[in-house]
Structure 1
């Protein structure tokens, strides 16, 4: 009973959509039990073999089909009834499979594995319908439907003269895998570069600056490319003139000024803002004109404002007294 609970292949549905596949599976299963002679003419099975085959056949059909053929006690009769009921499906499946085979092209599939699966499915349906496809026809279908850009590969595969379709598929699978490896190597770096790009980290001129107590101390070390080597303290060892202790100080000339001060100051030669005299590129005749215009403007004499006042008249006290009104 435990064995009957498990099915060895798919059951036959009431629509009979997969009847051809079910018939092949049922025949192979009965053959494994040495009961295949029951479903052929003139088999002469024993009653025990008939009962066992009938149980297995009804166990692999749908419940509705089982109820329709519940009175059938001969497995050969049940086999023939199912064949008469669903044999017409061959006339439906065959045209569809023929159409799929006619429009099948190798270039329409993304991989060789997908194409191989489609070919085997279509040829199996045609074979069940009594229209088998030869190995040579399968090979020619594959080679003749390749992409137009693969003409050279097509001729190379023809030179192999494969006798079986599986041999051609094996060659195509190997070629597909090799192409994927070549593409992965090609995409690792651009064309024309001899080596992969080296990882680069941004630095501040090879120097490290640490702030301690508000003072900036330079803690970086560098190697002098001259005759000797020295560190941040100026001390170093080397050959020739590079030996000894040297005091290193940053350049504090005009090159160390910021850009704002540079743009505000005027050139001493031409009087134009934006550059200094040591970087002046103004034409000589313009410089001469500027110098001539500035002559006599360097020193100016002191100028005092002097105003002359007229002499004051001599006035007496009587001049400031008002005349008597009564005399008037």
Structure 2
């Protein structure tokens, strides 16, 4: 077709009377569109008609190669194996094109029968309804299949939008319902946050009381042994030393109480002087 569009198609036929310029154009065109390895193989061929015949002998057997595969694909083609109608159509038309290229004509009746006979077993009633329409062209059946597919998808989408038996809320109440739901949700969130804050505050208070009563004194010494530099819960001082320290603390407490209870009599300078005279 390209050679014909350029007006040099006669250059590929034997015993032609084309001009040398037309033969050169055809030769350049053919060499440009063949594989690079073939260019080296046919490098010495300068006549486009000879090059054309050599290529035809080498590659003009595609029909014999494609035909068996296309027949097998037509035999195993089933409408039920495809999820979409367009996917089935692509496979169907591709196989029909290959068969037609190989000389096997496929009519609309053949395509209709292939589609009817390969419906899924659960769609026998639907297949019979399509047969009763008595379509004469596959395009008519294809249009019905596409419309039915779209309707089925819409039906399933509406079915899955909410559970069966449930009623949608009226549109007039949709705003109020949304506002109430947001209000309830905000109150619930505020209550949960306050509860978490209260628990957190109580935990902090318990930890503070525990640390105050069991860790260290205000002067940094241990409550258990009196030493500094460690906590009472990590104290490793031997038990008998800790016991001695605790007893000493108790004794200091009693002495302090006795001193507090003693009544001191005030003394004057004359009292000391009298005592010195007695000594003399």
Question: What TM-score do the two structures reach when normalised by structure 2?
Answer: 0.55
Alignment of structure 1 residues 265-280 onto 2, 5 Å = none
What is residue 49 of structure 1 aligned with on the other side? 22
1:38 and 1:164 map into 2 onto residues whose CA distance is 43
Residue aligned with 1:187, SS: helix
| Residue 105 of structure 2 is aligned to residue 135 of structure 1 | no
* CA pair 44-125 structure 1, distance change in 2 beyond 3 A: farther
Asked if structure 2 preserves the Cα contact closer than 8 Å seen for 1:146 and 1:154, the reply is: yes
Aligned partner (choices 154, 162, 187) of residue 189 of structure 1:
162
Cα offset for 1:141? 0.9
Relative contact order higher in (CA < 8 Å, ≥ 6 apart): 2
Residue aligned with 2:68, SS: helix
Structure 1: 5+ residue runs without aligned partners? 1-27, 211-328
Aligned partner (choices 55, 59, 72) of residue 99 of structure 1:
72
Asked if structure 2 preserves the Cα contact closer than 8 Å seen for 1:50 and 1:75, the reply is: yes
* CA pair 59-95 structure 1, distance change in 2 beyond 3 A: same
Cα offset for 1:103? 0.6
Asked if structure 1 preserves the Cα contact closer than 8 Å seen for 2:12 and 2:52, the reply is: yes
What is residue 68 of structure 1 aligned with on the other side? 41
* Cα deviation digits, residues 66-116 of structure 1 (max 9, x gap): 111222233332222112112334323211111111011010011111111
What is residue 175 of structure 1 aligned with on the other side? 148
1:175 and 1:54 map into 2 onto residues whose CA distance is 54
* Cα deviation digits, residues 153-181 of structure 1 (max 9, x gap): 32333344444333432332222122111
What is residue 118 of structure 1 aligned with on the other side? 91
CA RMSD in angstroms comes to 3.2
Residue aligned with 1:192, SS: coil
* CA pair 40-189 structure 1, distance change in 2 beyond 3 A: farther
Cα offset for 1:184? 0.8
* CA pair 41-106 structure 1, distance change in 2 beyond 3 A: farther
Cα offset for 1:40? 5.5
* CA pair 134-179 structure 1, distance change in 2 beyond 3 A: same
* CA pair 30-179 structure 1, distance change in 2 beyond 3 A: farther
2:141 and 2:14 map into 1 onto residues whose CA distance is 41
Aligned residues: 181
What is residue 30 of structure 1 aligned with on the other side? 3
Cα offset for 1:47? 3.4
* CA pair 174-55 structure 1, distance change in 2 beyond 3 A: farther
1:136 and 1:53 map into 2 onto residues whose CA distance is 43
What is residue 7 of structure 1 aligned with on the other side? none
What is residue 139 of structure 2 aligned with on the other side? 166
Structure 2: 5+ residue runs without aligned partners? 171-176, 192-280
Asked if structure 2 preserves the Cα contact closer than 8 Å seen for 1:105 and 1:142, the reply is: yes
Asked if structure 2 preserves the Cα contact closer than 8 Å seen for 1:139 and 1:164, the reply is: yes
Asked if structure 2 preserves the Cα contact closer than 8 Å seen for 1:106 and 1:146, the reply is: yes
1:44 and 1:172 map into 2 onto residues whose CA distance is 57
What is residue 252 of structure 2 aligned with on the other side? none
1:35 and 1:164 map into 2 onto residues whose CA distance is 41
Aligned partner (choices 51, 58, 62) of residue 78 of structure 1:
51
1:195 and 1:140 map into 2 onto residues whose CA distance is 45
